[in-house]
Amino acid sequence: MNTSNIPVLIIGAGPTGLMAAAQLERFGISYRIIEKRKGTTKFSKALGVQARTMEIYEQMGLVEKAIAQGTPAKKLQIMVKGQYVQTMPLSEAGAGFTAFPYLFILEQSRNEELLLDYIEAKGGRVEFQTEMTSFEVKGNQTRVGIQHADGSLETIQADWVIAADGGRSPVRKALNIPFKGDTYKNIFYVVDTDVAWSKDHHSLHINLADNNFTAFFPIIDKKGTRYRLVGILPEHYSEKKDIEFDDIKNEIKRVQNLDLELGDANWFSIYKVHHRCIDRFKEGAVFFAGDSAHVHSPAGGQGMNTGLQDAYNLVWKLALVVQGKAKESLLDSYHTERWVIANQLVNTTDRVFSNVVRKGRLINWFRLNIVPFLISRLMGVKKIQQRAFKMVSQTGIRYSNSPIAVSATYLSKKAPHPGDRLPYVKVFDSTTGELKNLYHLLGEQGFHAVFWWRNNDKTEIQDAAVIETYLKENYTTVVQTHNLYDQTENSSAFQKLDLKNSTLYLVRPDNYIGYIGKVDDLDALKAYLELIFI
Ligand SMILES: Cc1cc2nc3c(=O)[nH]c(=O)nc-3n(C[C@H](O)[C@H](O)[C@H](O)COP(=O)(O)OP(=O)(O)OC[C@H]3O[C@@H](n4cnc5c(N)ncnc54)[C@H](O)[C@@H]3O)c2cc1C
């Protein structure tokens, strides 16, 4: 049997594994990725691509391809028994927070293809029809047995393993790691079908009915009639085997009191929803990412996006460690940062979802009569609208508890703090003379030291020059420097960031703020860099 030694092995090529591989390609790290399926998924599965994922796609140069294949959902329309009671504009709530103020609809199958194309264009390869058959950890060594499509066996010894092997994760099972949580009693159906009705195809529609609901997500197609429907399977079908869409079609119309015609099923499936999370995202040299680490209800369209962002958060850290530039302790921040997010997500979706599916006359009355009214009142308040957008779009995710989020200066409540995503601001680009999204100005990779200049204090400028020289001499391959001045074109950025004094941001490769300090405080900056780099 063949034995190979490699730095990184990814197990599973769903969206999470593919994102991990794509990021490793970006950072030029050698790896292998194995997947037991023949290719990417043929099913639409996850549909909602959140704004934060679009920002990542943009950084990877993929966003235009994504936009060409999908459609933004700009409104959420709520119906009660077929009658509209509330319309929520998604784009207004997100305006100013991101370049993508909407929920983007693009099937999981297309997201997977997008990432696979990226990997292949960079010269990488996914080893399809290759299954992990055994997994053991001995001391510092991880030995993974795999079987190729032709039946041949191989053992891979990997320094690091990314377990992106889905909700049933064989790696998690091999390591005996509990997947704590529960399974909801209800059975759900999901179907992709044509809907003949008079409603707008660029909106999400949710219809609330007696002890049930149907969500309609638009899917892009030539006729503009295709939707993904999700709802609760009528109870009397729960024991029935081999249910088909035709069995429940009329029932959906009747229970939901909807005036529509449903076409044939392009994809139909029934499933139970789980809400579970592991306690540790890192176990020695093994990282869990995506559904192998957390599963929850598809309500809110968070699952695929969270997996993509797990991989995105992990890989820049892993790349620096594999390249021998960063300390191994940097990798612990993957668990600290992502576990909190996943755990919160599992709990929040559980609370919302339990109330949506709970049975009973009182709760049913409350859902149909009070909830739409409450949503309407709450969403009328701009601040609440914005908060909801930030939460659902994942642009509001903060890593405040991270060991690599450090502040060395006073920051107002309004100002962003270390551990926050770098806010979406436009700044003056002196090379083109135009206003530019700061993310674009920072460019593709690495850390960025951004000096925000509030005044022309000569001593500060001299001391900052010492910092620039220090960075050039010691961190030239990992930190780039940028200077931004308080001129008219930048006034809205300075206001948004509440910059009262000249300030230095150290922005991480994932566009999160790692450090904020004074522009002339070399000691504090040194201490921060020594926390991360060798
Ligand atoms: C009906 C439905 C609707 C959804 N809607 C949304 C939505 O709108 N938005 C959203 O964000 N999420 C949604 N989700 C959730 C989303 O599909 C998952 O969160 C996402 O697929 C997780 O990706 P993953 O890569 O972590 O895991 P998976 O997609 O499960 O990938 C794991 C991969 O590992 C492979 N694998 C497993 N064992 C082995 C082995 N031994 N050897 C080799 N390979 C192996 C599997 O074949 C699989 O390809 C939805 C899910 C469903 C079912």
Per-residue pLDDT of the chain (534 residues; tens, 9 = 90+): 688 899 999 999 999 999 999 999 999 999 999 999 999 998 888 999 999 999 999 999 999 999 999 989 878 888 888 888 888 887 778 889 999 998 999 999 999 999 999 999 999 999 999 999 999 998 878 999 999 999 999 999 999 999 999 999 999 999 999 999 998 888 889 999 999 998 888 889 998 888 788 999 998 888 889 999 998 888 888 778 788 999 888 888 887 788 899 999 999 999 888 999 999 999 999 999 999 999 988 767 789 999 999 999 999 999 999 999 999 999 999 999 999 999 998 988 777 777 776 777 777 777 777 777 777 777 777 888 888 889 889 999 999 999 999 999 999 999 999 999 999 999 999 889 999 999 999 977 799 999 999 977 778 888 888 999 999 999 999 999 999 999 999 999 999 999 999 999 999 999 999 999 999 999 999 999 999 999
H/E stretch holding 112 reads helix 108-121
Nearest CA to ligand 1 atom 53: 45
Q: Residue 299: its pLDDT value, please?
A: 66
C-alpha separations of 415 from 174, 407, 438, 499 in Å: 45, 12, 16, 7
CATH of 406-532, one of 3.40.50.280, 3.30.479.30, 3.40.30.10, 3.30.930.10: 3.40.30.10
Structure tokens at 140: 């510092």
Q: Find out whether the beta carbon of 108 lies less than 6 Å from any atom of ligand 1.
A: yes
User: How many angstroms is it from 77 CA to the middle of ligand 1?
Assistant: 28
User: How many angstroms is it from 461 CA to the middle of ligand 1?
Assistant: 51
User: How many angstroms is it from 166 CA to the middle of ligand 1?
Assistant: 5
Nearest CA to ligand 1 atom 35: 12
Q: Find out whether the beta carbon of 311 lies less than 6 Å from any atom of ligand 1.
A: no
Q: Find out whether the beta carbon of 46 lies less than 6 Å from any atom of ligand 1.
A: yes
Angle of CA points 363, 234, 297, to nearest 5°: 65
Write the CB contacts of 461 (distance below 8 Å, at least 6 apart in sequence).
none
User: Each residue of 10-31: b (16+ CB within 10 Å) or e?
Assistant: bbbbbbbbbbbbbbbbbbebeb
Residue 218 near residue 103, CB atoms below 8 Å: no
CA distance linking residue 106 with residue 45, whole number of Å:
10
- The closest alpha carbon to 231, from 190, 202, 196, 197, belongs to 190
Q: Residue 460: its pLDDT value, please?
A: 82
Question: Tell me: domain 71-103+180-269+360-396, CATH 3.30.9.10, correct?
Answer: yes
Give the nearest ligand 1 atom to 292 CA: 26
Task: State the burial class of residue 127 (Cβ atoms within 10 Å of its Cβ: 0-12, 13-18, 19+).
Answer: middle
Neighbours of 84 (CB within 10 A): 13
User: How many angstroms is it from 485 CA to the middle of ligand 1?
Assistant: 45
- The closest alpha carbon to 232, from 257, 254, 215, belongs to 215
CA distance linking residue 181 with residue 83, whole number of Å:
36
- The closest alpha carbon to 395, from 98, 99, 102, 105, belongs to 98
Q: Find out whether the beta carbon of 300 lies less than 6 Å from any atom of ligand 1.
A: no
User: How many angstroms is it from 249 CA to the middle of ligand 1?
Assistant: 27
Neighbours of 452 (CB within 10 A): 22
Q: Residue 44: its pLDDT value, please?
A: 84
Residue 11 near residue 37, CB atoms below 8 Å: no
Residue 523 near residue 491, CB atoms below 8 Å: no
Give the nearest ligand 1 atom to 290 CA: 26
CA distance linking residue 229 with residue 227, whole number of Å:
6
Q: Residue 14: its pLDDT value, please?
A: 98
State the DSSP string of 206-261. Answer: EEEETTEEEEEEE---SSS-EEEEEEEPPGGGTT-SS--HHHHHHHHHHHHT---E
Structure tokens at 296: 């929850």
Q: Residue 15: its pLDDT value, please?
A: 98
Rounded to 5 degrees, what are φ and ψ at 530?
-70, -20
Q: Residue 379: its pLDDT value, please?
A: 72
Give the nearest ligand 1 atom to 217 CA: 8
Fold of 2-60+106-177+278-359: FAD/NAD(P)-binding domain (3.50.50)
Task: State the burial class of residue 129 (Cβ atoms within 10 Å of its Cβ: 0-12, 13-18, 19+).
Answer: middle
Nearest CA to ligand 1 atom 16: 304
Residue with tokens 């809110």: 300
Q: Find out whether the beta carbon of 116 lies less than 6 Å from any atom of ligand 1.
A: no
Write the CB contacts of 65 (distance below 8 Å, at least 6 apart in sequence).
114, 117
Q: Find out whether the beta carbon of 73 lies less than 6 Å from any atom of ligand 1.
A: no
Q: Residue 86: its pLDDT value, please?
A: 81
H/E stretch holding 146 reads strand 141-147
Nearest CA to ligand 1 atom 9: 301
Residue spans of the domains in the chain: they are: 2-60+106-177+278-359, 71-103+180-269+360-396, 406-532
Give the nearest ligand 1 atom to 17 CA: 25
Using DSSP, state whether 382 is helix, strand or coil: helix
CA distance linking residue 292 with residue 318, whole number of Å:
19
Structure tokens at 413: 């409540």
Q: Find out whether the beta carbon of 460 lies less than 6 Å from any atom of ligand 1.
A: no
User: How many angstroms is it from 518 CA to the middle of ligand 1?
Assistant: 44
Q: What letter represents residue 220's amino acid? A: I
User: How many angstroms is it from 291 CA to the middle of ligand 1?
Assistant: 6
CA distance linking residue 389 with residue 97, whole number of Å:
9
- The closest alpha carbon to 449, from 395, 528, 396, belongs to 528
Q: Find out whether the beta carbon of 298 lies less than 6 Å from any atom of ligand 1.
A: yes
Q: Residue 373: its pLDDT value, please?
A: 75
Write the CB contacts of 305 (distance below 8 Å, at least 6 apart in sequence).
46, 48, 49, 50, 52, 53, 394
Phi-psi region of 284 (alpha: psi -120 to 50; beta: other; left: phi over 0): left
CA distance linking residue 407 with residue 400, whole number of Å:
10
Neighbours of 387 (CB within 10 A): 14
Give the nearest ligand 1 atom to 269 CA: 1
Give the nearest ligand 1 atom to 188 CA: 1
Would you mind telling me the total number of residues written for the chain in this entry? Answer: 534
Q: Find out whether the beta carbon of 92 lies less than 6 Å from any atom of ligand 1.
A: no
Nearest CA to ligand 1 atom 27: 166
Write the CB contacts of 469 (distance below 8 Å, at least 6 apart in sequence).
none
Q: Taken in order 33, 39, 45, 50, is the CA torsion positive or negative?
A: positive
CA distance linking residue 86 with residue 19, whole number of Å:
36
Residue 34 near residue 56, CB atoms below 8 Å: no
